[in-house]
Amino acid sequence: MKTFLSIALLMLPSIFPTGGQDLPISVADSGSKAVDELVVGLVSRRPAPGPTSTEEPKGLRQEGGLGIASLSGRYATAEVEEAIYKLQALGPSAFPYLLKHLHDDRYSYSDQPFISGINSEGWMNHSVGEAVYDFVLTNDLDWVGGYKSRKGADGVGHTPLTFEDYLETRGGMEAWVAAVKDRSRVSVFTEFIDWCVEEERKRGFESKEDEELILGNYLAKRKKIEEAEKK
């Protein structure tokens, strides 16, 4: 005979749904209600897949979209993708408020690092704070040069320039945000591209072909930023 306790335990899943999809989500108060409401959308209501180091996220290739959304290459829900798009559209004026969310460690999306391909291993889970940094504050501009490593004109090896490298030359994230918050998105991020081109030229190239290929990657990204601003 089932005891009262055992019956109560059986009923718990129907009383308290385990998925948590209907529970309200809150984020830190940044001082901007509009920004914070959008950051709520970065908190995935779908649990993080795992183990992501060796397995492709379940449902990645399912037609209908439980997997990759909007051809972004990310394993993310439609809500997360929409939040990324809307936060990007706010431009640098939102950056001071987004700093408050950089340490939100709740799961947001999964993707593969630059060193992996869409058909290879290496899926990683990322937090809300990482989504804020990667797609809004830095506009997904790491590894723009398109190479994993290369040699300069003097034969010395170099790794790709990153946005973090750039921020160090600007006094760090907070100083950079304060300096760009009143500028347009296109001017802020094309400035980063121009800095990369200048630094790559200082390093020099092993051949003319390398120079044309690498600088071509930067210029193509610059053009993409400019065209996106016109839409």
Q: What is the pLDDT of residues 115-162, one digit of tens each?
A: 545 455 567 899 999 999 999 999 999 789 999 899 999 999 999 999
- Band of pLDDT at residue 56, cut at 50, 70 and 90: low
Give yes or no for residue 98 having a pLDDT over 50.
Answer: yes
Give yes or no for residue 198 having a pLDDT over 90.
Answer: yes
- Domain of 119, in residue numbers: 27-137
On whether both 36 and 126 belong to a single domain, the answer is: yes
On whether both 157 and 133 belong to a single domain, the answer is: no
Does residue 10 lie within any of the structural domains?
no
In this prediction, residue 224 carries a pLDDT of: 94
On whether both 118 and 161 belong to a single domain, the answer is: no
On whether both 161 and 187 belong to a single domain, the answer is: yes
On whether both 125 and 35 belong to a single domain, the answer is: yes
On whether both 46 and 92 belong to a single domain, the answer is: yes
On whether both 132 and 38 belong to a single domain, the answer is: yes
On whether both 120 and 215 belong to a single domain, the answer is: no
Q: Once rounded to an integer, what is the mean pLDDT over residues 88-106?
A: 97
In this prediction, residue 61 carries a pLDDT of: 60
On whether both 32 and 109 belong to a single domain, the answer is: yes
On whether both 120 and 194 belong to a single domain, the answer is: no
Q: Once rounded to an integer, what is the mean pLDDT over residues 14-39?
A: 77
In this prediction, residue 111 carries a pLDDT of: 84
Give yes or no for residue 1 having a pLDDT over 60.
Answer: no
In this prediction, residue 151 carries a pLDDT of: 94
Rounded Cα–Cα distance for residues 180 and 76 (Å): 29
In this prediction, residue 49 carries a pLDDT of: 80
Does residue 18 lie within any of the structural domains?
no
Name, in order, each residue with C-beta under 8 angstroms of 208's C-beta and a sequence gap of 6 or more: none
Rounded Cα–Cα distance for residues 55 and 75 (Å): 13
Q: Once rounded to an integer, what is the mean pLDDT over residues 175-203?
A: 98
Q: Once rounded to an integer, what is the mean pLDDT over residues 167-172?
A: 98
In this prediction, residue 2 carries a pLDDT of: 44
Please say which residue of 137, 161, 191 terminates a domain.
137
pLDDT tens by residue, 67-93: 554 456 788 889 999 999 999 999 999
The model's pTM = 0.80
On whether both 55 and 155 belong to a single domain, the answer is: no
- Band of pLDDT at residue 183, cut at 50, 70 and 90: very high
Instruction: Count up the domains in the chain and report the number.
Output: 2
Does residue 5 lie within any of the structural domains?
no
Give yes or no for residue 100 having a pLDDT over 60.
Answer: yes
Rounded Cα–Cα distance for residues 217 and 197 (Å): 10
Give yes or no for residue 171 having a pLDDT over 50.
Answer: yes
Rounded Cα–Cα distance for residues 138 and 132 (Å): 8
Please say which residue of 137, 158, 192 terminates a domain.
137
Please say which residue of 71, 104, 137 terminates a domain.
137
In this prediction, residue 186 carries a pLDDT of: 97
Token readout for 205 is 């190239």
